[in-house]
């Protein structure tokens, strides 16, 4: 169990997550595996570079793997806490299901499913029954056994295929991402809370080739470049958009305000709270 501020997160086998957020917002980025989400209460916001989608109580959503966006869990406008259930449908598990071939799999393409990174699921008794049973574990602070968890994951897969058999074309697509333009990828995703292994994976590279390509392209290590890039973004927002350090540190990729402040001072020689004063001084001297 992970507790942060007014947030409580239950994590079982990195597969079954239950999250409760009473007051604060809880944000994270990137989807590494297919995810099935159910909003029990409150709101969940998905934010991409071009789109903002808000899901509310009773919504069930399937999100595809290997997509980058900001996921914010927050109370509803009337103050109802966020409460959500998340199931990760990981590739090894799906491969085992596919290899069993105990049910017919029609891997047909459906543009409505294959072209979107998320699919809002219809109200369906199979899904409702699955989420109700999972919510009971959350309510009682109990975890299912590994065998029961695998049964629930299979139930989730069967429910999706019952809703639309063409989900098979997504669930059982095990191809890896192509090697992509590293400069564009890093400039677009530097705010994401990812390990270097995850950055390498999304860039379609091994960790070794990722570090090698990165050094050739940016003349720096990924870790140092990420810190500098995030700090520069934060300073720009504080100076030009009149934002407070406490409002931007999470957004640019830092997890802790004190760590952000120390890194900021080390990089620029002054605290983030002094940005406005420093910039005004610079203007007067020019």
Containing structural domain, residue 232 = 182-285
pLDDT means over runs of 10, the chain (286 residues) = 56 82 66 89 83 91 83 87 92 89 55 78 90 83 82 93 88 77 88 85 84 94 95 92 89 90 93 80 51
72 backbone φψ class: left, alpha, beta (φ>0; ψ -120 to 50): beta
Question: Nearest-CA neighbor of 186 among 200, 169, 165, 166?
Answer: 200
Q: Which of 109, 136, 171 is the last residue of a domain?
A: 171
Q: Is 160 exposed, middle or buried (0-12, 13-18, 19+ CB in 10 A)?
A: buried
Is residue 177 one of the residues assigned to a domain?
no
136 in the same domain as 236: no
CATH number, domain containing residue 102? 2.60.120.280
Q: What is the pLDDT of residue 283?
A: 43
Evaluate if pTM is beyond 0.75.
Answer: no
Residue 48 falls inside a structural domain? yes
125/52 same-domain check: yes
Domain's final residue, options 171, 200, 222: 171
pLDDT score, position 7: 64
β-partners of residue 63 are 35, 118
Q: Which of 152, 171, 190 is the last residue of a domain?
A: 171
Q: Are residues 165 and 39 in the same domain?
A: yes
Q: Is residue 176 part of a domain?
A: no
* pLDDT at residue 188 in the model: 85
Question: How does pLDDT run across 86-138, given as a tens digit for each residue?
Answer: 999 999 999 998 887 655 555 555 656 777 888 999 988 999 899 988 888 77
**Model pLDDT, residue 282:** 56
165 and 191 in a single domain? The answer is no
What does the block give as tokens for 256? 């802790």
* 26 lies in the same domain as 129: yes
């Amino acid at each position: 169990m992970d507790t942060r501020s007014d947030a409580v997160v239950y994590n079982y086998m990195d597969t079954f997550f239950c999250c409760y957020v009473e007051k604060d917002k809880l944000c994270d980025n990137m989807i590494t595996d297919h995810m099935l989400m159910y909003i029990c209460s409150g709101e969940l916001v998905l934010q991409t570079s071009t789109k903002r989608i808000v899901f509310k109580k009773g919504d069930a959503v399937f999100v595809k793997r290997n997509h980058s966006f900001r996921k914010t869990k927050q109370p509803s406008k009337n103050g109802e806490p966020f409460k959500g259930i998340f199931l990760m449908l990981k590739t090894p598990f799906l491969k085992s299901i596919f290899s069993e071939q105990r049910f017919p799999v029609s891997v047909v393409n459906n543009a409505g499913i294959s072209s979107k990174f998320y699919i809002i699921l219809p109200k369906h008794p199979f899904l409702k029954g699955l989420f109700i049973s999972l919510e009971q574990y959350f309510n009682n602070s109990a975890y299912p056994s590994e065998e029961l968890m695998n049964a629930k994951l299979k139930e989730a897969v069967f429910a999706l295929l019952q809703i639309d058999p063409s989900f098979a074309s997504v669930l059982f697509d095990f191809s890896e991402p192509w090697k992509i333009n590293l400069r564009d990828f890093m400039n677009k995703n530097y705010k994401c809370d990812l390990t270097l292994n995850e950055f390498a994976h999304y860039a379609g590279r091994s960790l070794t080739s990722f570090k090698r390509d990165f050094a050739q392209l940016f003349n720096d290590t990924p870790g140092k470049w990420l810190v500098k890039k995030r700090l520069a973004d934060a300073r720009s927002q504080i100076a030009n958009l009149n934002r407070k350090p406490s409002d931007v540190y999470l957004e640019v990729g830092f997890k802790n305000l004190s760590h952000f402040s120390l890194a900021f001072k080390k990089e620029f020689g002054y605290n983030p709270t002094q940005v406005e004063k420093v910039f005004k001084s610079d203007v007067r001297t020019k």
